[in-house]
Chains A and B, each alone.
Chain A
Amino acid sequence: MKKRKKIELDFEIDFLTNSIRNTVSGDSFRTEVLRLAKSDLIQITKKNGWNFNWKTELDDNSKEVYKLTIVDNPNIVQGLISFTINADHVYMDLLENAPFNLGRDKLYEGVAGNLVAYACKISFQQGFSGYVSFTAKTRLIEHYQRTLNAMTFGGQLMIINTVAANILIDKYYKNG
């Protein structure tokens, strides 16, 4: 019997359509979500304005770390997410917009929602019916309830359920 050659992919790509918008021109851009590579860490430093230590996240084997980039512009990271695959849901550990996508003068809108939608998609792929949990900053709880339809769950813990996950995925992955 012939042995089948095992092909393993070490990257994943998910195309999104028109899912982030340039706040200056109003144009929307197609984006992709890719695994963060060690080589990306050169630009993702505190010196460059990033708040979290993404090297630690990348070194932690229990977590998966992804970057959001614009199609055909893979070297500019628009935002990052790290999450843990639990027994029945995905837990988002960290999520951060690129420094130029923060504040009133942010360059692109929709980066964070895009990454949350990706976590929901992973949850469905894992057979978790879209359930995603995360710890929210107190002042952001209301915003997450309103914009992500997330539910509070004791203290700062929040959960996105199947219905909310489907809404997010419809928004970002309708054609994907």
Chain B
Amino acid sequence: MGYIKEPDGVDFVIKGKPLTDKQKQAISEFIKADKERLAKLKTRTTKSTNRQRKVWQ
């Protein structure tokens, strides 16, 4: 079990203003695109692993 050590002399502080509708929309689009990117990456990794297995069999 670990923990994140803050760098010396640095304190993690968050003070954000409420998100605007425009920001929320932009974040939603980013999340959608990021999920698609991660899904593609996963598919590619799975295919690559399967191909490797065939070679070794």
Contacts and interface: CB of A to CB of B under 8 A. Distances in A.
A159 B38 CA distance: 15
If over half of A's interface residues share one DSSP class (helix, strand or loop), that class is named, otherwise mixed; here it is mixed
Contacts of A66: none
B23 interface: yes
A28 B3 contact: yes
Interface residues of B, number: 29
Contacts of B4: 110, 112-114, 147-148, 168, 171
Most buried by A among B9, B19, B24, B35: B19
A126 interface: no
Interface in A125-176: 129, 131, 133-137, 140, 143-144, 147-148, 153-154, 157, 159, 161-163, 168, 171-172, 174-175
A110 B3 contact: yes
A119 to B, nearest CB: 10
